[in-house]
């Protein structure tokens, strides 16, 4: 615990990039209130636990952890549970873990300063009741953790209500930030010395500029034109709102990374309809065709759920055939996990756990083969690589290509170690199913412009 009068906090984060970036903003907000961030539970007066409830038994895990923390209460520490489990479980958290002082969902983080005053006075604070807010959560100071990438939330919440997903219930309705504040934040990130930004939202391409100046695609292009920016990424896109304009922007603005993450979830139009995804297999493939006919070679990654209620073997095979047809550069694959409050929870014909496990293994094996073959095409190419960390014990440096592929590389004899966040040309020498390996070239070497 802190020895001086300045209160300290520790924050632990689970879940998606949105959650990690929320924690950076929550930390910034606490620092503005005079708190100091520390790196261990032991050193903290206030412990924040930023939770995720997208899959598995996340709620149980949170309650277990809180039970472990109970002994720390005797040392005068306070506990705050924020994020999706906080929003989902609400006041039940106080009942099951009475040592918790603050429970807040992401749509209430604007009110953190007043909630901190409440708990400092020994009262309980809750931020659960305003998910219908129009506000976005913005802070003057963001405690950025990532040493080479600045995250910018452009849209919060989700209005899509996919049948399996808790997000619309935990993060509330969609609300977009103004294009002016997004561009201002991009400029600030450049001033702070970073050259890579990632636009974030549960559904970035549903973006609606409250100023009416920009579409998602034109905002993306505008961020890419901010002086000093070298790489712009964005996640996550929804196929329903994925436009040709986005592909054109990637073709026209070289700083936009040649990578799109476009979750498909299933290759069967029947399952997609049951999931309430608002597109068919054919419409998804049409968007893929737009990307494949772009001038640049755009890497495409996706999310897939296996074992959604009622998914037949033939429908599962449609997902496999879609994977063959697209040739994804990477997938995140999940077994369907029943979530509280969602329509899929009460759907018939649940798929047994062993069958879900089998389908997941088949899917992952198939994808491994696809990547094993397709990553070979990079061997011999020189790719512009961002240095993402310091040299590891075995001599490799971790890097990443514009297409978002990890490219770990060695340095030629005697070459000085390039700093984190710099860009170097790397010749690819080997390909693994999930990453590339190479050696740095002299800085003047021309890179492949995809």
Measured CA to CA, the distance from residue 188 to residue 433 in angstroms comes to 37
Of the residues 14, 336, 375, 378, which one makes contact with ligand 5AD according to CB under 6 A: 336
Q: Work out whether 204 is an interface residue with ligand 5AD (CB under 6 A).
A: no
Q: What are the structure tokens assigned to 376, written together?
A: 């070979």
Q: Which residue is nearest to ligand 5AD (CB)?
A: 303
Place of tokens 């020895």: 3
Q: Work out whether 162 is an interface residue with ligand SF4 (CB under 6 A).
A: yes
Half-sphere exposure of 269 (CA within 13 A, CB side): 7
Q: What are the structure tokens assigned to 122, written together?
A: 């020994």
Site string for ligand 5AD, 28-67 (x = CB under 6 A): --------------------------xx------------
Place of tokens 């959604």: 308
* CA-angle at 103, arms to 101 and 109, nearest 5°: 120
Site string for ligand SF4, 209-248 (x = CB under 6 A): -----------------------------x----------
Using CA atoms of 75, 86, 59, 331 in order, give the dihedral in degrees to the nearest 10.
-120
Of the residues 339, 359, 400, 405, which one makes contact with ligand 5AD according to CB under 6 A: 339
How far is residue 338 from each of residues 41, 110, 343, 355, measured CA to CA in Å?
32, 31, 9, 15
- The 10 Å CB-count burial string (b at 16+, else e) for 350-365 is bbeeebbeebbeebee
Of the residues 118, 283, 337, 396, which one makes contact with ligand 5AD according to CB under 6 A: 337
Closest CA to 207 of 252, 177, 246: 177
State the minimum distance, in angstroms, from the CB of residue 356 to ligand 5AD: 10
The number of residues making up the chain comes to: 450
Q: Work out whether 202 is an interface residue with ligand SF4 (CB under 6 A).
A: yes
Of the residues 15, 83, 105, 168, which one makes contact with ligand SF4 according to CB under 6 A: 168
- The 10 Å CB-count burial string (b at 16+, else e) for 191-215 is eeebbbbbbbbbbbbbbebeeeebb
Site string for ligand 5AD, 290-309 (x = CB under 6 A): -------------x-x----
Of the chain, the end-to-end C-alpha distance in Å amounts to 52
**Quick one: what does residue 336 bind among ligand 5AD, ligand SF4, none, with the CB cut-off 5 to 8 Å set by partner type?**
ligand 5AD
**Quick one: what does residue 168 bind among ligand SF4, ligand 5AD, none, with the CB cut-off 5 to 8 Å set by partner type?**
ligand SF4
Q: Of the two residues 54 and 383, which places its CB atom closer to ligand 5AD in the complex? A: 54
Q: Of the two residues 265 and 385, which places its CB atom closer to ligand 5AD in the complex? A: 265
Q: What are the structure tokens assigned to 385, written together?
A: 């690589």
Specify the stretch interacting with ligand SF4 by CB under 6 A; choose among 6-14, 156-164, 190-198, 381-389: 156-164
Of the residues 80, 112, 154, 165, which one makes contact with ligand SF4 according to CB under 6 A: 165
Measured CA to CA, the distance from residue 18 to residue 42 in angstroms comes to 26
Q: Work out whether 334 is an interface residue with ligand 5AD (CB under 6 A).
A: yes
How far is residue 206 from each of residues 16, 43, 200, 247, 432, measured CA to CA in Å?
19, 41, 12, 15, 35
Q: Work out whether 263 is an interface residue with ligand 5AD (CB under 6 A).
A: yes
Q: Work out whether 242 is an interface residue with ligand 5AD (CB under 6 A).
A: no
Q: Work out whether 11 is an interface residue with ligand SF4 (CB under 6 A).
A: no
Q: Work out whether 284 is an interface residue with ligand 5AD (CB under 6 A).
A: no
**Quick one: what does residue 188 bind among ligand SF4, ligand 5AD, none, with the CB cut-off 5 to 8 Å set by partner type?**
none
In terms of phi and psi (left: phi > 0; alpha: psi -120 to 50; beta: otherwise), the region of 253 is beta
Q: Work out whether 93 is an interface residue with ligand 5AD (CB under 6 A).
A: no
Q: Write out the residues near ligand SF4 by the rule CB under 6 A.
A: 158, 160-162, 165, 167-168, 202-203, 238
């Amino acid at each position: 615990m802190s020895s001086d009068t300045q209160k300290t906090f520790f924050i632990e984060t689970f879940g998606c990039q949105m959650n990690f970036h929320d924690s950076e903003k929550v930390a910034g907000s606490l620092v503005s209130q005079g708190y100091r961030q520390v790196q261990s539970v032991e050193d903290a007066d206030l412990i924040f636990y930023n939770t995720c409830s997208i899959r598995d038994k996340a709620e149980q895990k949170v309650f277990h952890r809180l039970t472990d923390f109970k002994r720390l209460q005797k040392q005068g520490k306070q506990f705050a549970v924020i994020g999706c489990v906080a929003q989902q479980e609400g006041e039940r958290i106080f009942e099951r873990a009475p040592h918790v002082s603050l429970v807040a969902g992401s749509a209430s983080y604007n009110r953190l300063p007043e909630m901190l005053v409440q708990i400092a006075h020994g009262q309980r604070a809750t931020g659960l009741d305003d998910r219908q807010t129009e506000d976005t959560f913005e802070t003057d100071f963001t405690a950025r953790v990532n040493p080479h990438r600045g995250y910018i939330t452009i849209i919060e919440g989700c209005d899509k209500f996919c049948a399996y997903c808790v997000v619309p219930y935990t993060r509330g309705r969609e609300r977009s930030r103004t294009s002016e504040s997004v561009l201002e934040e991009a400029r600030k990130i450049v001033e702070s010395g970073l050259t890579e930004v990632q636009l974030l939202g549960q559904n970035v391409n549903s973006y609606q500029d409250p100023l009416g100046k920009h579409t998602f695609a034109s905002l993306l292009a505008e961020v890419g034109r901010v002086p000093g920016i070298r790489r712009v990424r964005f996640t996550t896109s929804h196929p329903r709102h994925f436009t040709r304009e986005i592909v054109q922007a990637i073709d026209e603005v070289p700083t936009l990374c040649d990578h799109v993450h476009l979750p498909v979830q299933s290759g069967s139009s029947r399952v997609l309809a049951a999931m309430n995804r608002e597109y068919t297999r054919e419409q998804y493939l049409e968007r893929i065709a737009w990307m494949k006919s772009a001038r640049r070679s755009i890497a495409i990654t996706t999310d897939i759920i296996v074992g959604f209620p009622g998914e037949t073997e033939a429908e599962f095979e449609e997902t496999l055939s879609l994977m063959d047809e697209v040739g994804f550069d990477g997938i995140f694959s999940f077994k369907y996990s029943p979530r509280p409050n969602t329509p899929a929870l009460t759907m018939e014909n649940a798929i047994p756990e062993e069958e879900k496990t089998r389908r997941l293994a088949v899917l992952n094996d198939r994808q491994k083969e696809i990547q094993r073959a397709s990553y070979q095409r990079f061997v011999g190419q020189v790719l512009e690589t961002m240095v993402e960390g310091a040299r590891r014990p075995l001599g490799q440096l971790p890097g990443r290509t514009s297409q978002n592929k990890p490219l770990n590389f060695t340095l030629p004899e005697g070459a000085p170690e390039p700093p984190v966040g710099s860009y170097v040309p790397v010749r690819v020498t080997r390909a693994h199913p999930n990453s590339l390996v190479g050696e740095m070239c002299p800085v003047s070497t021309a890179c492949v412009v995809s």
